[in-house]
Amino acid sequence: MLTSCLIITTLLLGEVLPADSPQATPPVMRGTLWWMPYLPKASQEEYSRCIQAQRDVGFDLLWILGTPSLMEKATQSEAAGEPYDPLDLVLQIADEAGMRVIVDLPQEGWYGRAEADDVIGRVAKHIQAFSSRYGKHRSLRGWYLNYEINPIAEDNPKESRWWRDVWQEETAACHRALPGSLVTISPFFLMDEKRRRGFVYLAPAQYGKWWEETLRQTKIDVVMLQDSGAEHLAFFTLADREPFFAAMQTACRRAGCHLWLNVESGEADVAGWEEFMLKEREKNVPWRFVPIDRLAGKLALASRYGESIVNWGYFPYMAPEAGEKETPLQREAYLAYQTYYQRQSKTAARSPDLKTREGQR
């Protein structure tokens, strides 16, 4: 297993580093979750500037959310005689820049509210339509299963079976429609052992076991594990998170799946559970950009476990959307990370070749 992990690391990053190295992956972000709104005012030039700002901090991956809606509205604009397709613009820019793009899939249903076969059928239809429209772009390299589910209790096999069947068929449909493409998912874990909010808690070993069984069946290519837990709370320490990283790393290795860390640059700035619960009831939770020293620590920990690092929080905490005005806090956060990235640039790896279990696109 150690040998296979070394091979995976070499293929993705172009470097030979021990799997148990304190820093087997450079501690820099490779790309961010981008909720790309439908903004007719955003031109190709504006999107180019937005993407260049990401490239200036080392991003070579675009992880785009909202693409089913973008495709639908692009089709509607063509029917109305006023064609506008911002997703196609972004894919063109990514093609020219040699970037990789991961796009989200529609959910089309949820456990307890839809039949698995119905969900699978609707998502498969979307995958085929999306591939037909955008599959010509060489930057289109992956799919994101956009399901953030709470941990599932061990005594609830019916729900586990529902999700595994859905994800298995959706993953297969992605691989058929775009051979060699990468299927990803970005789950969270819960650190609320006392179940203050009523959600199921799984200890790291239980959590890892569930995901190992899930990844074996579904053949998902990459887990992009959220590093802050479901609550995104500032008072959680790195030591609190690390057991879940280790459990997921073991699960991925045993199941033949790649592990990336989704390091969050936004967090709820609260001192403890009592403050958070109060602020949540008041719908007044204070959110902030993760201070750069703290973010550096999160990245260092992620580099010990993940084969690559992605991000949630660049939008909205570090940069504006295309066509929107930058705020002073966004500028400060962006420059702080840019300075950090430049210090790390000597050890930053080249663009990874994204690999599925079966091969490379």
Report pLDDT digits (tens) over 236-256: 999 999 999 999 999 999 999
- What confidence score (pLDDT) does residue 15 get? 28
- What confidence score (pLDDT) does residue 44 get? 84
First-last CA distance in the chain: 24
DSSP summary character for residue 355: B
DSSP string, 91-124: HHHHHHHT-EEEEE------TTTS-HHHHHHHHH
Tell me the three state secondary structure of residue 16: coil
- What confidence score (pLDDT) does residue 354 get? 60
Percent of the chain having pLDDT more than 90? 80
Mean confidence (pLDDT) of the chain: 89
Confidence of residue 10 (pLDDT cuts 50, 70, 90): very low
pLDDT at 349 over 70: no
- What confidence score (pLDDT) does residue 345 get? 82
Rg of the chain taking only CA atoms, in angstroms: 20
Domains and CATH numbers, the chain: 22-344 (3.20.20.80)
- What confidence score (pLDDT) does residue 94 get? 97
pLDDT, tens digit, 9 for 90 and up, residues 105-138: 999 999 999 999 999 999 999 999 999 999 999 9
Q: What is the pLDDT averaged over residues 195-211? A: 94
- pTM for the structure as a whole: 0.89
Question: At how many degrees (to 10) do helices 204-218 and 157-177 cross?
Answer: 40
Tell me the three state secondary structure of residue 145: strand
Q: Looking up tokens 């210090």, which residue turns up?
A: 343
DSSP string, 279-330: HHHTT---EEEPPHHHHHHHHHHHHHH-SEEEEEBIIIII-PPTTSPPPHHH
Output the six-digit token pair for 240: 């609190």
